Amino acid sequence: MEHRFYDLNVAFYNEHLLERAEYLGLSGICIVARSTDNIDEYLEKIKKIREGTNIDVVTGVLIEEKPNKIFGLAKSLRRKVELILVSGGDYETNRMACSSEYVDILCHPEKGRKDPGIDHICCREAREHNTIIELNFRELISAIGMERIKELNKMKEIVRLCNKTKARFIVNSGAKNIFELRGGRELSSLSFCSGASLQDALIANSEIPEKLISINREKLKQPVKGVEYER
Amino acid sequence: MRDKLKTLPSSYREKKRYVVFEIISDKKIEFEELIKSVFNNTINLIGILGVAKTNFRFMSDLYNEKKQIFVLRCLPKDVELIRLSMALITEINKKNVCIRSLGVTGTIKSARRKYMDI
């Protein structure tokens, strides 16, 4: 079976991005907005980008706020964008993101830390609240020498915890320029090398994001949670 | 007595996989700088012992300079590891690059036929 690979954290946009993503074999990308201001402008921009491309372009916002503001922001953005990502690193932020139903992806929970940033409690919460834990490929690319070893070690620990608690994980490129974008198989190879089985590694970057996006799109169509109408 | 060893029967030989990669870059990458970068990055990620264990080899006669395609040989279980080590290359001789895998084959012949149109 052919896998449809997704990259749900691309932090830039230029005219060659979609062409390159298609060439690398990606079926969909999420061009992430980094600020919560001008959301309408961002949505208009994505609407224009979607025209004339075969790639599934997903809207998403990366929240980089203090833990006490995450919940409110995520709740207000839930009915506007398809994906809500939270920039991790701080334990309180990670815990908050994992235990919130409004958050879809917790990005790089290990950033700037000596430990993986999540524990078994976070993982269990993430599983219960359908939050996906992200491994960021860019964190690995930008690290050199001993830093890269530590980064790999932390990723290995995250994958181990996710396997143990059956929480879901994903590998995103987090690309800030076109040369940092990677294909689906390359992204999957990171989770495989971090200890996941090949099947899990492939599903993490294909079926899981596909399902997540379709569920969120269905939710966006509903005027109130759980209510659908026919035209 | 003859000094040359007899060729091993095919069932006694170790299984191999050929991973075909393509370099995406604005500028052309020379063969020497590519091979240097490939070895440095692989050793950087998996170490000398790791490289030795993967049965790693750069297939220099399969390098296509025009299409910027090259082939690496490794053991079947280490394909993903080699793929990751190539994905971690972002720069070769101060030129920005992105290396993507085109596919995996079991023989040189099929690698040539599928990815190099020979």
Count helices and strands in chain B by DSSP H and E runs: 3, 5
Q: How much is the average pLDDT of B29-33?
A: 92
Residue B11 counted as domain residue: no
Predicted structure pTM score: 0.89
Distance of CA B5 to the CA centre of its chain: 27
What CATH number corresponds to the domain at position B36?
Answer: 3.30.70.3250
Q: Does B101 sit within 8 Å of A179, measured CB to CB? A: no
**Which structural domains are found in chain A, ordered by start?**
62-173+182-221 (3.20.20.140)
What is the domain range of residue B110? 17-115
Whether A192 has its CB under 8 Å from any CB of chain B: the answer is: yes
Alpha-carbon distance A31 to A6, whole Å? 11
A121-174 pLDDT, tens digit per residue, is 999 999 999 999 999 999 999 998 889 999 999 999 999 999 999 999 999 999
Q: State residue A219's pLDDT score.
A: 85
CA B22 to chain A, closest CA, distance in angstroms equals 10
| pLDDT digits 0-9 by tens, A29-46 | 999 998 878 888 999 999
Is the pLDDT reported for residue B97 higher than 90?
Answer: yes
Does B77 contact chain A (CB < 8 Å)? no
Burial code (b: 16+ CB inside 10 Å, e: under 16) for A27-50 equals bbbbbbbeebeebeebeeebeebe
- Whether the predicted pLDDT of A118 surpasses 70: yes
Any chain A CB within 8 A of the CB of B59?
no
- State the nearest Cα–Cα gap between B97 and chain A, in angstroms: 6
**Partner residue opposite A186 with nearest CB, options B90, B97, B100:** B100
Predicted local distance difference test score (pLDDT) of residue A4: 92
Residue B6 domain flag: no
Q: At what angle do helices A91-98 and A120-128 cross, to 10 degrees?
A: 30
pLDDT at B1 over 80: no
The Cα A74–Cα A81 span in angstroms is 10
Taking CA atoms, what residue in A is nearest to B84? A189
ipTM score: 0.84
Q: How far apart are CA A45 and CA A81, in angstroms?
A: 13
| Confidence check: pLDDT of A231 > 70 | no
